[in-house]
A and B are shown apart, each in its own frame.
Chain A
Amino acid sequence: MADKNYDNIPKEMFEFANQGEKLTDKKFDTKPIGYFKDAWLRFKKNKASVFASIIILIIILYAILVPLFTFNYDVTFMDSRYAKKGPRNTTLRNIGIADGGVTSEYSERGLIKTYAIGMGALDVNGTGDIKLSDTIGNDLQPILKIKKEETKAGNTVYTAKVDAYLEVGFIYEQIEQSVYAKILEWEKETGLKVLYPLINNNEYNNDPLDANCWYKTDSKGTPLAINANGKEMKISLSDNMQLEDNYKRDAEGNPIYWEYAGGGNTSTAEFKVRMLYYNYYIYKNGFEPNYIMGTDSQGYDLALRIADGIKLSLLIAVFVSVINFIIGAIYGAIEGYYGGAIDLAMERLADILSGVPFIVVATLFQIHLATKVGAIPSLLFAFVLTGWISTAANVRMQFYRFKNQEYVMAARTLGASDARIIWKHIFPNSLGTIITSSVLVIPSVIFSESMLSFLGIVNLGGQEGTSLGTLLSDASSIWTNYPHLMIFPAIVISLLMICFNLFGNGLRDAFNPSLRGVED
């Protein structure tokens, strides 16, 4: 049996564990993982959120880069004759997408009229003898494809896909004589025809104001052929169809291209001319109409307008989010840290403010301030007035959680001031939740802004820029005929909302340490 006398163990039996060695804390071999590093590591694992952030980045890059890489014109470029036209790109057109095409139904008469635009455009010499089959597939023929031919109530109805840009066809315009000369020169240089013969205003012209009625028709618009005896014969649609032109001609039978319309000397005299708008556009601007997303309701390039809208909507959202963050953090910190009567009074104030419906605030601010400080600042005021409350409530709760913890007590014992304890000790601990709620403010602001614009309470549209909501609201009454006006902004706004929500949720999970290790 061993000696059980533990009280008197002789000193010699003991021995220092680390004799001679100096004992210090060992340095970590690994790098320490801080709060944000940890959050980042977990955020990276959340694939949906990473994907969403990439899409957000792409959208932001789009908003920044597209205006930079549009060399030909800027966002103020507008062409009202090409308003509400669909997507068109001369390169992609060859493979059948973005051809500016609109599918609609035509009567035989309407179809011939549209075909005739192409036929007239290719009739460069004004002779009038051009066959329909020669123009099919040509770049100036508006009709791209006949999709369907059916009989409805005794009439043949054609469903055709038509290039909406070419369908504009011919226009009458008054230009100065010097411009006329310039166009003629340009025509020679490029081989593109802008000026076309004027049309006779006789009984065969059923609409003298319409520059597209260049062929002989009866009063209803059915094309006619007049034989030598003056007998009228109706022309019906066929591949070899030829139309009889109704051009103004001089005594020798040459077509007349201009008419004096008033004005001074040889350079300022006004000429009335008839021109093919598509080529005139090229003459005016030096490039073909290429609008990858089409044009908006006024004739601006929709792709640029959307880039502008994204910029404005995002700027407003981020600005609101930052301001809310600042106000909410300060307000909530004071409430939560001091508590008691201060808390009660400040809570009451926040309660009252949060009772005001946002829509009412926004409306009142718009009515009162929009004329004085502009629509955007008054919208920002409205967002900020009630927006910070949820952030403040969040911060307040975090402060209640942390303010009685030991490290705060330790700091206070060491003589730290209130401000130091608030900002240096407690606030960083609650930063994660606050950042998350600030990020989630962004989609809600984008939504509210688009809603207010849509309802017409706020108007952010202008020559220089627009918001996504304004684009939608412009489209709202006419989008059924021009779906692209609605589709593109709606896609962008939906993407922004989805991605910011996913991004925010990812942040929330990443900043929540209690979820560490829960996910696989």
Chain B
Amino acid sequence: MAKYVIKRILLMLFTLFVITTICFMLVRILPRELPQDKNLQAVIQARWDALGYNEPLLVQYGIYLKNIFTEWDFGTSWYISQLTPAWDVIIGRLLPTVLVNLYSLLFSIPIGIGFGVLAAIKKNKWQDSVISTLVMLFVSIPSYVYAFLVQYFLYFKLGWFPLTVYSLADAGGSWFTPKMFYSMIPPVLALSFGVIAGLTRFTRAELTETLTSEYMLLARTKGLTRAQATTRHALKNAMVPIMPMIISSFIGILGGSLIIEQIFSIPGVGQLYVNSIVQRDYDVFMMDSIFYTFVGLLAGIVVDISYGFIDPRIRMGER
């Protein structure tokens, strides 16, 4: 097990390294623009020279790697947040992203699993058809359409919620104030529809499979009631593939949703990404790309490993 985990992590680091290298080369050969402000221009030009931005590409890459390993320095934000380290910029944006997605997950997981269980137990009855039809609809509709629907009904028609998430200052200086939470409800809802539908579909599929398996028959023969057999045997086994999916979505919340953050103007990682492209802030763009790559790779590993923890029958790394 440990050997497998180490192997996977090493492979992940290798992949990350390759992608970072390619990304770096592609980003650094882009022409850089200096800001309009004369004083700032001189400062930035001087820093670029000092940081070796005018050296050959491979030398630049050497400097970049050296800075990362010795000083944990991923470059500097030149425009978005002037002259602060890219690492600090992205860390500062992490909390809102994580919060919104965390709320959404905490909200949707129980509902999603609940609906999935209901649909599986009532398979081929009207409850199941209703849920399955709705799931089909909700899984397919793009998330931004939900965002618009939520904005339209909750803001324009009913006026219950603000149009976008409050800024930090408006909400009392913290991400954890009740006011902030309140303004985060619309994006949380917009995110949740898709997650709930996906989870419902997955749970239903897995549970219907375990419900028809032979150990269920045995459990009923032993004298367990249907409810007992379902909760103690079927649900537990259905959780084997469901749990990794949930765990990976918890890692996925780091990445967040670009589109939802844009629509509700949440100052998160996704918005930072779009801004870094628009403002040509390449070091932040690099940082964000590395971050997204890392989150994606990490989620993949955690899913694979978690199978081994959740289900003792699965031995990882065996052929």
Residues of chain A whose beta carbon lies under 8 Å from any beta carbon of chain B: 48, 351-352, 355-357, 359-360, 363-364, 367-368, 443, 447, 450-451, 454-457, 472, 476, 479-480, 483, 486, 490, 493-494, 497-498, 500-502
Q: Which residues of A contact B144 (CB under 8 A)?
A: 450-451, 454, 472
Q: Is B140 within 8 A of A497, CB to CB?
A: yes
Q: Is B292 within 8 A of A357, CB to CB?
A: yes
Known contacts being A359-B273, A364-B26, is A352 close to B292, with CB within 8 Å? no
Q: B259 touches which one: A48, A451, A500 (CB < 8 A)?
A: A451
Q: B148 touches which one: A352, A355, A486, A501 (CB < 8 A)?
A: A486
Q: Is B293 within 8 A of A360, CB to CB?
A: yes
B137 contacts the other chain (CB 8 A): yes
Q: Is A356 within 8 A of B19, CB to CB?
A: yes
Q: Which residues of A contact B22 (CB under 8 A)?
A: 356
Q: Which residues of A contact B16 (CB under 8 A)?
A: 355
B23 contacts the other chain (CB 8 A): yes
Q: B142 touches which one: A352, A451, A456, A480 (CB < 8 A)?
A: A451
Q: B277 touches which one: A363, A443, A490, A500 (CB < 8 A)?
A: A363
Of the candidates A356, A447, A486, A494, the one having the most CB atoms from chain B within 10 angstroms of its own CB is A356
Residues of chain B whose beta carbon lies under 8 Å from any beta carbon of chain A: 11, 15-16, 18-19, 22-23, 26-27, 30, 136-137, 139-142, 144-145, 148, 151-152, 156, 258-259, 262-263, 273-274, 277-278, 285, 289, 292-293, 296-297
Taken together as a complex, chains A and B put the C-alpha atoms of A501 and B136 apart, in Å, by 8
Q: Is A494 within 8 A of B259, CB to CB?
A: no
Minimum C-beta distance from A306 to chain B (A): 15
Minimum C-beta distance from B304 to chain A (A): 12
Taken together as a complex, chains A and B put the C-alpha atoms of A494 and B297 apart, in Å, by 30
Known contacts A363-B277, A451-B142; 18 additional CB pairs below 8 A are A48-B136, A355-B15, A356-B22, A357-B296, A367-B277, A368-B26, A443-B140, A451-B144, A454-B144, A455-B259, A479-B148, A480-B152, A480-B156, A483-B152, A498-B136, A498-B137, A500-B140, A502-B136
Q: Is B142 within 8 A of A356, CB to CB?
A: no
Taken together as a complex, chains A and B put the C-alpha atoms of A517 and B263 apart, in Å, by 47
Q: Is A490 within 8 A of B258, CB to CB?
A: no
Known contacts being A355-B16, A359-B292, is A493 close to B277, with CB within 8 Å? no
Known contacts being A357-B296, A457-B277, is A450 close to B30, with CB within 8 Å? no
Taken together as a complex, chains A and B put the C-alpha atoms of A456 and B145 apart, in Å, by 17
Q: Which residues of A contact B148 (CB under 8 A)?
A: 479, 486, 490
Q: Which residue of A lies closest to B16 (CB)?
A: A355
Q: Is B274 within 8 A of A357, CB to CB?
A: no
Q: Which residue of A lies closest to B137 (CB)?
A: A498
Minimum C-beta distance from B91 to chain A (A): 19
Taken together as a complex, chains A and B put the C-alpha atoms of A449 and B27 apart, in Å, by 22
Q: Which residues of A contact B297 (CB under 8 A)?
A: 355
Taken together as a complex, chains A and B put the C-alpha atoms of A502 and B30 apart, in Å, by 43
Q: Is B26 within 8 A of A352, CB to CB?
A: no
Q: Is A352 within 8 A of B274, CB to CB?
A: no
Taken together as a complex, chains A and B put the C-alpha atoms of A352 and B27 apart, in Å, by 19
Known contacts being A360-B293, A497-B142, is A454 close to B259, with CB within 8 Å? yes
Of the candidates B15, B16, B145, B273, the one having the most CB atoms from chain A within 10 angstroms of its own CB is B145
